Structure 1
């Protein structure tokens, strides 16, 4: 199972030096890939800008957006951004996760319609694939570049969890980004099983690529920091749901993190993204030691 890590993008006060340190540690470590998520509100940093910086600052790891809330954006611009990211990274964009998002106020902030986002993403994916194939989408406008390094376009992974959304993505997605906040095998297995069935009904010959993800921390007083992170992340859903989810996560020690990794592998993850609850250096330093003990 390949191990990826999400760079911190939700913590206020991070500097250029902080990110350069993270990029260097990830690229020099045992990690297969580097990712970043997307949110608009709060102290969050922009996913596209951070991944572009990572593409320049690193030499080895894959660069993976996890994920574009695609219906908030212009599909043509996203296609152009991803092709540019591939050039900047020297051909290291192999997977791109896209999803619908559930934060209506983020949509409102960027003047995008929350209504109709499901059908819109189907059409956006089709348009992006046309652009990457070099097809003209505006008569007389020519192709939309740049020409990426890849020989074939990256896998498009659907960031979907429910049966209806997974079913909808099955005709066009190359895989699934399955999430289990606490790294539970049964949750990941259930999501992948739904994907397998949906892919079969869609008559897909290639099985879906299996990418998983979970939250963790190795920081001191980790359980409190993990609780605070998850509560803040899910506060948009209301205090009751945020509290329930924050109380359910406990990957805050070496043994707990190792168990979550074992769970992900047992569930069939081909790759897993670990999302740290803090931006403290120990989140990488401690993880490097853990991964060395696991091999």
Structure 2
């Protein structure tokens, strides 16, 4: 199982030097990839800009958006961004996760329509692939570049969880980005089982790529910081859900993280992203030590 790590894009006050230190630590560690998520409100950093900086500042790890809330954007613009990112990284954009998102106010803030986002993303994926194939999008306009380093394009992984959305994505996705906040084997395995069933029903002749993720921390007073991070992340859902989820996570020690890694591997993850609860560089350094011993 390949292991990646998510950048701390949600933390306020980070500087150029902070990000450069994270890029260097990840690129020199035992990690397969680095990622960044997308969110509009709050102190969050822009995913596209952060990953572009990471592409220029690293030389080894893959660069993976996790994930584009695709219906908030122009699909043609995203296709162009990803092709550019692929070239700037030297061909290290091999997986791209896309999803619907559940934050209506983020849609409002960028002037996008929240209603109808499911059908819109189906159409957007085809539009992106047309761009990457070099097809003319506007009659007489010519192709839209740049040209990807791999003409087949990156894998498009669906960030979907429910059976209906997974079934919908099975028609076009190359795989699934499954999420279990506490790295539970049964949660990840159940999501992958739904994907397998949906892929079969959709008549797909290639299996779904299996990517997963969970929250963790190795910072001092880690359990409290993990609780606070998850609560803040899910506060939009209301205090009851935020409290329930915050109380359910406990990957804040070496043993508990090793258990989470074993869970993900047993569930069938081919690739796993670890999402840190703090911006402390110990999240990279201590996790590197754990992975070196595993």
The TM-score normalised by the length of structure 1 is: 0.99
Q: Specify the alignment match of 1:139 in structure 2.
A: 139
Distance of 1:286 and 1:258 partners within structure 2: 12
Question: 1:149 Cα deviation (Å)?
Answer: 1.2
Distance of 1:57 and 1:70 partners within structure 2: 26
**Which segments of 5 or more consecutive residues in structure 1 lack a partner in the other structure?**
none
Q: CA RMSD in A?
A: 0.4
Q: Specify the alignment match of 2:269 in structure 1.
A: 269
SS for the counterpart of 1:273 is strand
Distance of 2:65 and 2:26 partners within structure 1: 16
Distance of 2:152 and 2:127 partners within structure 1: 16
Q: Specify the alignment match of 1:220 in structure 2.
A: 220
SS for the counterpart of 1:279 is coil
1:156-211 Cα shifts (integer Å, max 9, x gaps): 00000000000000010000000000000000000000000000000000000000
1:99-129 Cα shifts (integer Å, max 9, x gaps): 0000000000000000000000000001000
Q: Specify the alignment match of 1:186 in structure 2.
A: 186
Is residue 285 from structure 1 mapped to residue 288 from structure 2 by the alignment?
no
Q: Is the 8 A contact 2:83 2:145 kept in 1?
A: yes
Q: Specify the alignment match of 1:57 in structure 2.
A: 57
Question: 1:132 Cα deviation (Å)?
Answer: 0.3
SS for the counterpart of 1:63 is strand
Distance of 1:112 and 1:72 partners within structure 2: 5
Distance of 1:181 and 1:124 partners within structure 2: 28
Question: 1:40 Cα deviation (Å)?
Answer: 0.1
Q: What is the number of equivalent residue pairs in this alignment?
A: 294
Question: 1:147 Cα deviation (Å)?
Answer: 1.2
Distance of 2:82 and 2:32 partners within structure 1: 19
Distance of 1:248 and 1:237 partners within structure 2: 16
Distance of 2:148 and 2:114 partners within structure 1: 31
Distance of 2:239 and 2:73 partners within structure 1: 29
Q: Specify the alignment match of 1:90 in structure 2.
A: 90
Q: Is the 8 A contact 2:56 2:89 kept in 1?
A: yes
Q: Specify the alignment match of 2:105 in structure 1.
A: 105
Question: 1:217 Cα deviation (Å)?
Answer: 0.1
SS for the counterpart of 2:19 is helix
SS for the counterpart of 1:98 is strand
Q: Specify the alignment match of 2:67 in structure 1.
A: 67
**Which segments of 5 or more consecutive residues in structure 2 lack a partner in the other structure?**
none
Distance of 1:17 and 1:96 partners within structure 2: 26
Q: Specify the alignment match of 2:27 in structure 1.
A: 27
SS for the counterpart of 1:234 is helix
Distance of 1:219 and 1:34 partners within structure 2: 19
1:38-80 Cα shifts (integer Å, max 9, x gaps): 0000000000000000000000000000000000000000000
Q: Specify the alignment match of 1:258 in structure 2.
A: 258
